[in-house]
Amino acid sequence: MSAASKDNKIVNEKIVENATCTFCGCCCDDITLTVDMDKKVITKAQDACILGKAWFLNHVIEDKPIARIDGKEVALDDAIDEAAKVLMDAKFPILYGMSDTICEAQRQCAPMMDDCGGTIDTTTSVCHGPSGMAFQGVGEPSMTLGEVKNRADFVMYWGGNPAEAHPRHFARYAVTPKGMFTPNGKDDRTVVIVDVRQTKTAGVADIFLQVKPGKDFELLWMLRAACKGAAIPDNCKELCGIEKDVVEDLFDKMKNCKYGVIFFGMGLTMSRGRHFNSGALMALATDLNEFTHFVAKPARGHGNVTGADNVVSWQTGYPFGVNFSRGHPRFNPGEFTTVDTLTRGEADAAIVIASDPVANFPKPAIDHITSDKCKLISIDTKQTPTSEAAHVSIQTSTYGINTGGTVYRMDDVPISLRPAFDSPFPSDLEVLTKLRKKVNELSKKANRPYATKKYI
Amino acid sequence: MKGKLILIPGRSAKQGVGLNKGKLKDEYKKVTTTLEVSFEDMKSLGLETGDHVKISNEIGETNVIVKGLREGKIPEGYAFIPYGPPSSCLFDGETCASGMPESKGMKIDIEFIKKGEKKKTTLPPLNS
């Protein structure tokens, strides 16, 4: 910490170098934070993008109770006891979220749901869940963002808008940085954007292709067929909205580049076709390896949604939508994913961690999770529609700002966090560790056949 | 003044900034209740930027404020809205066994409710 700063009159200033922004999946770990330790606020976030600045500079220690039951302030331990009781008394408890917390906290969740015979699901199920299903079908031609920076001379964004959702993706990893084999930055790269809208991302494109809404699969399949020697059909424009010669030129560029990469977004996974769209894209990237080196990667949204997939995968064998009611993990999207269990009115208790389904889920799911038929538990760093609707609400400290730990960048690279200042709120890890222990105790008392015998 | 459009909800930088400031605050509410429509559709529906409209489908309905976009920014017949509680009102819970509700490309009805308090002129197309 330094002495008085003349410019902004901060007397108790702390500089945190190489801090990681955990707002989006880019997890930029080169941010320099200036912290006013007296006021407990971050006054400057050097090198952060517009979203990163909003993430750091709007973080304040709120004057709110740590724990509430039905809106009334209670002791943290009482809230944890009640949450454990709700989960154990439920016939079909679900756990959802985890994409905005550290891996160490995520690690507590699967064993807890194992003990209460429930279901665990991450925000991936309403994000790149279809891509996760496609990985299992066609594989993932993967890479790290460091490889992209140093090698990629053909960069494509399909159905995503990184200029607004991942603003530093261009400058840090894929478009403008100068790499080992791309010494001239953007001049050494061909940048192609495929989208139904002319978004701000289109501004960086050498080639912008406005595909007909809902026709991504058709265009992807035409390119796959071209890899196998088939001609682009004459009615190409009618099929996908893009002229035949433009698609032929695109295919030429794809197969003649030295290192090609496609980043894809929810324009593919959220529209009709879902995992078939993601699967077609990854199969195309695989097919292009007959000509050159080609890879593909989903552009992940939340700061540690990639970590949630990794942690749940190494604990259960599956990335999301995992049910433990038979004493072993079963994966079945559509049956055990959160939107489905809520829409069908099956879940009678829901614990939501660092997520806000009441603001973002489909209306039938919101109607059920906020009804008397489903007891809602919320663990979050901020007040949200979900925390306000919850029976048990616990407010925690913010990862990357108040607590350290591990997050996974969108390319599955783990990064250690450097917190800026302490918070009076407990960490997700502390709350979830206590809750897991309590659920385990209750599970043993109830002689649940599958209760973990030894608390690990 | 009624019509039909196809809705594409998605992320925006303003929505990202708004949610960091707080989802219960006015800035987030304002961003997530702004519906972007092409200039051509604005003209055919007789709407101007700032007008209040009701958008609905078989799942639900919500009131939003309409904003015209320049030619080519969004295809004719389509509308964009940042993710948030208003867009969620229109999502169906059916996931076709994928876990993912169809969150882009929903057919919606759009209906004029009232003029905006602060009248703004709809943007003309760039080539006019």
- The CATH number covering residue B40 comes to 2.40.40.20
The sign of the torsion formed by the CA atoms of A124, A127, A132, A135 equals negative
The per-residue pLDDT for A454 is: 58
Rounded Cα gap, residues A393 and A66, in angstroms: 8
| Whole-number Å distance between alpha carbons of A308 and A303 | 10
pLDDT of residue A141: 94
Residue A369's SS3 state is helix
Helices and strands (H and E) in chain B: how many: 4, 6
Q: Do A197 and B98 touch (CB under 8 A)?
A: no
Which residues of chain B neighbour A320 with C-beta distances below 8 Å? 99
Q: What is the mean pLDDT of chain A?
A: 94
Does the pLDDT of residue A3 top 80, yes or no? no
For the stretch B56-87, pLDDT in tens is: 999 999 999 999 998 778 889 999 999 999 99
Candidates A56, A68, A60, A66; CA nearest to A23 is A56
Mutate which of B98, B102, B108 to disrupt the A interface (most A C-beta within 10 Å)? B98
Chain B residues interacting with chain A (CB cutoff of 8 angstroms)? 6, 8, 10-13, 16-17, 20-24, 59-60, 72-75, 78, 80, 83-85, 88-105
**pLDDT at position A176:** 97
Binning pLDDT at 50, 70 and 90, where does residue B128 land?
A: very low
Q: Using a CB-CB distance cutoff of 8 angstroms, which residues of chain B are in contact with residue A130?
A: 98-100
pLDDT of B126 above 80: no
Residue contact A198–B85, C-beta within 8 A: no
Q: What is the pLDDT of residue A211?
A: 95
Q: How many domains does chain B have?
A: 1
- What local confidence, expressed as pLDDT, does residue B82 receive? 95
- Supply A138's token pair: 């066609």
Distances A78 to A87, A117, A394, A435, A439 between C-alpha atoms, Å: 14, 23, 11, 11, 13
Across the interface, do A126 and B10 touch by the CB < 8 Å criterion? no
Cβ within 8 Å, pair B93-A388: no
CB contact under 8 A, A340 and B99: yes
Burial A232-256 (b: 16+ CB within 10 A, else e): beeebeebbbbebeebeebbebbbe
What residue numbers bound the domain in which B8 lies?
Answer: 2-114
Strands A154-158 vs A119-122: parallel, antiparallel or unpaired: unpaired
Q: Name the token pair of A345.
A: 């009115």
Compute CA distances A117 → A90, A103, A377, A455, whole Å. 9, 22, 17, 16
Q: What is the ipTM of this complex?
A: 0.85
Search chain B and give the residue with CA nearest A359.
B85
pLDDT single digits (tens) A328-373: 999 999 999 999 999 999 999 999 999 999 999 999 999 999 999 9
- CATH code for the part of the protein at A129-298: 3.40.228.10
Q: What is the mean pLDDT of residues A119-147?
A: 94
Conformation bin of residue A229: beta by default, left when phi > 0, alpha when psi is -120 to 50: left
Three-state SS at A135: helix
Helix A129-138 to helix A275-287 angle (10° resolution) is 40
Torsion of CA A268, A274, A276, A278, to 10 degrees: 40
The owner of tokens 């509680």 is B85
Chain A (262-321) residues lying within 8 Å, Cβ to Cβ, of chain B: 266-267, 269-272, 274-275, 301, 320-321
Closest partner CB to B23 (pick from A266, A267, A385): A385
The answer to whether the Cβ–Cβ distance between B78 and A196 falls below 8 Å is: yes
Residue ranges with strand state E in A37-146: 41-46, 67-69, 72-74, 93-97, 119-122
Statement: residue A10 has pLDDT above 80: no
Interface of A with B in 76-135 (CB under 8 A): 121, 125-126, 129-130, 133
* Residue B98 within any structural domain of the chain: yes
What single DSSP character describes residue A201?
A: G
Write the pLDDT tens digit of every residue in A294-338. Answer: 999 999 999 999 999 999 999 999 999 999 999 899 999 999 999
Could you tell me if residue B32 is inside a domain? yes
Residues of A in contact with B17 (CB under 8 A): 50-51, 54
| Distant-in-sequence, close-in-space partners of B57: CB < 8 Å, separation ≥ 6 | B90, B106, B107, B108, B109
Is pLDDT larger for residue A448 or for residue B113? B113
pLDDT for residue B108 is more than 60? yes
- Do A152 and A176 meet the contact criterion of CB atoms below 8 Å apart? no
Residue A138's CB is within 10 A of a number of other CB atoms, namely 17
Residues 6+ apart with CB under 8 A from A315: A107, A110, A111
Question: What tokens were used for A307?
Answer: 């970590």
Domain edges within chain A: 13-57, 67-127+303-445, 129-298
User: Of all residues in chain A, what percent carry a pLDDT higher than 70?
Assistant: 96
Is B17 among the domain residues?
yes
Predicted local confidence at residue A124, as pLDDT? 95
Q: Convert the pLDDT of each residue in B5-44 to its tens digit.
A: 999 999 899 999 998 888 888 999 999 999 999 999 999 9
Which CATH number, 3.30.56.10, 3.40.50.720, 3.40.50.740, 3.40.50.10790, labels domain A67-127+303-445? 3.40.50.740
Q: Classify strands A93-97 and A72-74 as parallel, antiparallel or unpaired.
A: unpaired
A274, B96 contact by CB (below 8 A): yes
How far B41 CA sits from the closest chain A CA (Å)?
A: 15
| Region of poorest pLDDT, from A63-72, A85-94, B113-122 | B113-122
- Predicted pLDDT of residue B79: 95
Which strands, in side-by-side order, build the sheet including A13-19?
Answer: A13-19, A31-36, A41-46
Q: Between residues A6 and A432, which one has the greater pLDDT?
A: A432
DSSP type of residue A90: -
Residues A423-445: what's their mean pLDDT? 96
Is the predicted pLDDT of residue A151 greater than 80, yes or no?
yes
In a domain, B126, yes or no: no
B11, B17, B99: residue with CB nearest A50: B17
pTM over 0.90: yes
- CA of B96, closest CA in chain A: separation in Å? 7
- What does the pLDDT average to over A225-252? 97
**Res. A1: pLDDT tops 50:** no
C-alpha A368/C-alpha A26 separation (Å) is 34
Quick check: B89 and B6 in contact, CB under 8 A? Answer: no
Q: What is the mean pLDDT of residues A156-182?
A: 96
Interface-testing mutation among B29, B80, B100, B107, with chain A (most A C-beta atoms within 10 A): B100
